[in-house]
């Protein structure tokens, strides 16, 4: 079994794989102030709750966009699980060729999603991650990471509404009964949800136009991705485990080099 950890700005998503099977998943809030001992205890408790002993884990792979948590998290993995994690970053075998202007600037989470989307669904594919930010990444038929678009995530937009205005309240993000809202909460929900749907459909349309790729598969993931994917025909697939699957795939591609590094350390 392997442990895959995806560290986003808001949440840390963890999955345990037995071969290709996702055996267990759990989620933590990303907190830079946790110590390695706190992370270690949480990890042991979560694994134990799913009947998994640390000794059953073959290895760990981590993709992180939050550098501040990595010292404590890596220390916990080493001390409590006895594993030195593989870190997703430059120099990894990914199976993709990044042809953007600055390949090293592409975030680990986007690489993970791109690898999974290309391996699972083939190319050309546009993968949309509705996370803290909403990202759109284009992978060509030949496996080239060709372009990326970044927009504020739905939650960021919602928080801007209720923190930057005096009278707008915090709300649940869900689709209202009608876009023709007649009170404050549903009017905010309408703007956030239908606004995101409109943005998504327009960006997909422009990507197809400018890339010249008409038959483009669109795959969505991320916490609020289901909400949007269910409301538009522009998205063909919603895959909740895309990021964790990408980590598993990257672990398999890089496990030999990791084993050699661990042996020599």
pLDDT at 252 over 90: yes
What is residue 139's predicted lDDT score, i.e. its pLDDT?
A: 97
Q: Is the pLDDT of residue 74 over 90?
A: yes
CATH 3.30.420.40 fits 2-87, yes or no: yes
* Structure-model confidence comparison of residues 264 and 138, the more confident one: 138
Query: Quick one: 154 exposed, middle or buried, by C-beta within 10 A (0-12, 13-18, 19+)?
Result: buried
Average pLDDT over the chain, rounded to an integer: 93
Please compute the mean of the pLDDT values over residues 3-32 and round it to a whole number: 93
**pLDDT at residue 263 tops 80:** no
Give residue-wise pLDDT tens across range 130-168.
998 999 999 999 999 999 999 999 999 999 999 999 899
* Statement: residue 180 has pLDDT above 70: yes
What band does 105 get if pLDDT is binned at 50, 70 and 90?
confident
pLDDT average, residue stretch 41-70: 95
Q: Which of 73, 56, 4 is nearest to 246 (CA)?
A: 4
* Residue 255 binned pLDDT confidence (cut-offs 50, 70, 90): confident
Cα–Cα distance, 28 to 7 (Å, whole number)? 9
pTM of the full structure: 0.90
Contact between 243 and 88 (Cβ < 8 Å) = no
Between CA 84 and CA 41 the distance in angstroms is 17
Task: Kindly list the domain boundaries of the chain, sorted by start residue.
Answer: 2-87, 97-241
Residue 261 has pLDDT above 60, yes or no: no
The tokens 């504020």 sit on which residue? 152
CA distances from 210 to 47, 198, 204 (A): 46, 18, 10
Two structure tokens written together for 231: 């409301």
Q: pLDDT confidence of 264, banded at 50, 70, 90?
A: very low
**pLDDT value at 257 more than 70:** no
For the segment(s) 97-241, the CATH number from 3.30.470.20, 1.20.1070.10, 1.20.120.80, 3.30.420.40 is 3.30.420.40
| pLDDT of 241 above 90 | yes
Neighbour count for residue 257 (Cβ, 10 Å): 13
pLDDT at 247: 98
Q: How far apart are CA 54 and CA 68, in angstroms?
A: 25
Beta-carbon contacts of residue 67 (< 8 Å; ≥ 6 apart): none
The full DSSP string for 15-79 is EEEETTEEEEEEEEE--TT--HHHHHHHHHHHHHHTT--GGG--EEEEEES-GGGHHHHHHHHHH
- The pLDDT value recorded for residue 265 is 47
User: What pLDDT sits at residue 258?
Assistant: 54
Q: Quick check: do 2-87 and 97-241 share a fold?
A: yes
Asked if 25 and 33 count as a contact pair (C-beta separation under 8 A), the reply is no
């Amino acid at each position: 079994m392997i442990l895959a950890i995806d560290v986003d700005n808001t949440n840390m998503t963890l999955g345990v794989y037995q071969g290709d099977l996702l055996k267990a998943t759990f989620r933590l809030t990303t907190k830079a102030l946790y110590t390695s001992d706190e992370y270690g205890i949480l990890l042991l408790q979560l694994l134990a709750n799913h009947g998994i002993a640390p000794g059953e884990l073959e290895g760990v792979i981590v993709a992180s966009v939050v550098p501040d948590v990595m010292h404590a998290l890596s220390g916990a993995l080493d001390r409590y699980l006895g594993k030195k994690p593989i870190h997703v970053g430059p120099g990894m075998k990914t199976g993709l060729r990044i042809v953007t202007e600055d390949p090293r600037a592409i975030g680990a989470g986007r690489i993970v999603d791109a690898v999974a989307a290309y391996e699972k669904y083939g190319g050309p594919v546009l993968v949309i991650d509705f996370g803290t930010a909403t990202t759109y990444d284009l992978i060509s038929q030949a496996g080239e990471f060709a372009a990326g678009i970044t927009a504020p995530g739905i939650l960021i937009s919602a928080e801007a509404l209720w923190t930057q205005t005096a009278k707008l309240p915090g709300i649940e993000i869900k689709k209202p009964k009608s876009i023709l809202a007649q009170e404050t909460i549903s009017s905010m929900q309408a703007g956030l949800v239908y606004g995101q749907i409109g943005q998504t459909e327009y960006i997909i349309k422009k990507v197809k136009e400018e890339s010249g790729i008409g038959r483009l598969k669109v795959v969505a993931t991320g916490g609020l991705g289901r909400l949007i994917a269910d409301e538009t025909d522009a998205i063909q697939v919603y895959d909740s485990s895309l990021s964790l699957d990408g980590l598993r795939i990257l672990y398999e591609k890089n496990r030999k080099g990791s084993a050699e590094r661990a042996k020599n350390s």
